């Protein structure tokens, strides 16, 4: 982990927006998140921007049909898998780019960013990817030891490629590994091989040289996440603040070691958004942070190490509601910075 991260509760986004025009989406990003812009994922523009499909390009045997992704083994399949392993060992990322067809928001943002404090990207993590991508027999590849490890290494190389290309426009990069399916940890309905979770996530994380975080928009075993060597923990603080406060000691240790928290305190739900204001969100954030201020940890210091974000992606909202959400996120950040001098 780098020296203590102090973002001063600057605002940024999680990733997805409901727009279909990347220029329009990037205009919204640059207006409200000018210090730490995030490239927008636009799943309404194309199914290729689904969070799993978007990072499937180039995986051996991958077949995309509508919103489904499966692996079909060809005669060259074993050789192609070996290539992934060899590239991972050498750090060869040339084959692992994301093309403009799959991520126009990334390339549009690259043309606009210059001199920002940092620039943020995101990639789908190996747990979520491994549960959504299936073998020909219908089994998620997370349950296949060989394919799940290959997928983690493949995603690690894609994350490294993304970090490198973002590094051409900013000296500081932030990559979040997005893992909504980590809510399945301990679940009897969608069990995942828990003993493999840290290993697979680290296979991705170790490829990143800049600032790295993990985002989960539900309740999970945060003690597992906090031991991964991440720099930023990103979570839905609007709906799940109490789940993190159940791990106070681990969170305090994480903060003391220099880590930061992206507080997803602005709801990505239209009905909830209509009820909230800058004041009510600031009050809600104060309540979320309060359990971690005991034993000498100051509220202001936690804010200094904080990012302010929406609770999750915004693709499910109308463009008007998404605009309101990112505007509210920016205003909450401004209020906190003004009030606490961070």
Q: Is residue 189 part of a domain?
A: yes
Residues in the chain predicted with pLDDT less than 70, given as ranges, are 1-4, 186-191, 295-296
Long-range pairs of 298-303 with CB within 8 A, sequence gap ≥ 24: 299/340, 300/340, 300/341, 300/342, 301/255, 302/255, 302/261, 303/8, 303/9, 303/336, 303/340, 303/342
Structure tokens at 85: 């392993």
Q: What is the pLDDT of residue 51?
A: 96
Q: Is residue 3 part of a domain?
A: no
Distance CA 126, CA 106 (A): 21
CA 160 to chain centre: 14
Q: Is residue 1 part of a domain?
A: no
Structure tokens at 182: 């980590």
DSSP E strands: which ranges in the chain?
Answer: 10-11, 62-65, 68-71, 119-124, 133-134, 173-178, 211-216, 232-235, 260-266, 306-310
Distance CA 93, CA 70 (A): 23
* Structural domain for 319, as ranges: 10-340
Beta-strand relationship, 62-65 and 173-178: unpaired
Q: 325 with 266: CB under 8 angstroms?
A: yes
Beta-strand relationship, 10-11 and 68-71: unpaired
State the total domains in the chain.
Answer: 1
Distance CA 256, CA 267 (A): 28
Q: What is the pLDDT of residue 295?
A: 67
Q: What is the pLDDT of residue 3?
A: 57
Q: Which of 288, 270, 280, 286 is nearest to 331 (CA)?
A: 280
Q: Is residue 2 part of a domain?
A: no
Give the 3-state DSSP-derived string for 50-70, with helices as H, strands as E and coil as C: CCCHHHCCCCCCEEEECCEEE
Question: CB neighbours of 146 closer than 8 A, spacing ≥ 6?
Answer: 81
How far CA 278 is from CA of 7, 284, 285, 307, in Å, comes to: 20, 10, 11, 16
Q: What is the pLDDT of residue 116?
A: 84
What SS3 class is residue 256? helix
CATH number of the domain encompassing residue 74: 3.20.20.210
Q: Is residue 5 part of a domain?
A: no
Give every strand in the sheet of 10-11, ordered side by side: 10-11, 306-310, 260-266, 232-235, 211-216, 173-178, 119-124
How far CA 103 is from CA of 43, 109, 123, 237, 243, in Å, comes to: 10, 10, 11, 28, 33
How far CA 317 is from CA of 16, 27, 34, 299, in Å, comes to: 10, 17, 22, 32
> Positive or negative, the Cα torsion across 309, 210, 254, 299?
negative
């Amino acid at each position: 982990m780098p020296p203590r991260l102090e973002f001063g509760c600057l605002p940024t986004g999680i990733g997805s927006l409901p727009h279909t025009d990347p220029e329009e989406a990037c205009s919204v990003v640059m207006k409200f998140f000018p210090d730490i812009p995030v490239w927008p994922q636009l799943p309404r523009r194309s199914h290729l921007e689904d969070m799993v499909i978007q990072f499937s390009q180039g995986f051996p045997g991958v077949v995309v049909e509508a919103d489904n992704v499966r692996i079909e083994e060809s005669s060259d399949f074993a050789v192609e898998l070996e290539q992934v392993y060899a590239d991972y060992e050498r750090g060869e990322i040339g084959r692992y780019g994301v093309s403009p067809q799959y991520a126009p928001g990334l390339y549009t943002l690259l043309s606009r960013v210059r001199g920002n404090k940092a620039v943020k990207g995101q990639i789908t993590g190996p747990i979520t990817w491994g549960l959504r991508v299936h073998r020909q027999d219908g089994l998620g590849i997370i349950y296949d030891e060989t394919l799940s490890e290959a997928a983690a290494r493949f995603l690690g190389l894609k994350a490294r490629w993304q970090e490198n290309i973002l590094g051409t426009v900013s000296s500081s990069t932030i990559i979040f590994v997005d893992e909504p399916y980590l809510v399945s940890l301990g679940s009897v309905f969608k069990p995942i091989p828990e003993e493999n979770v840290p290993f697979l996530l680290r296979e991705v994380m170790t490829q990143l040289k800049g600032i790295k975080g993990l985002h989960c928009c539900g309740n999970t075993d945060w003690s597992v996440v906090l031991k991964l060597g991440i720099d930023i923990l990103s979570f839905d603080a609007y709906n799940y603040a109490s789940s993190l406060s159940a791990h106070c000691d681990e969170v305090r240790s994480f903060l003391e070691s220099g880590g930061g928290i992206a507080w997803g305190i602005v709801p990505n739900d239209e009905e909830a958004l209509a009820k909230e204001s800058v004041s009510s969100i600031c009050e809600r954030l104060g309540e979320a942070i309060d359990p971690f201020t005991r034993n000498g940890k100051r509220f202001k210091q936690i804010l200094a190490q904080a990012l302010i974000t929406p609770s999750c992606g915004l693709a499910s909202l109308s463009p008007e509601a998404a605009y309101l959400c990112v505007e509210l996120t920016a205003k909450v950040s401004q209020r906190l910075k003004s009030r606490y001098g961070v």
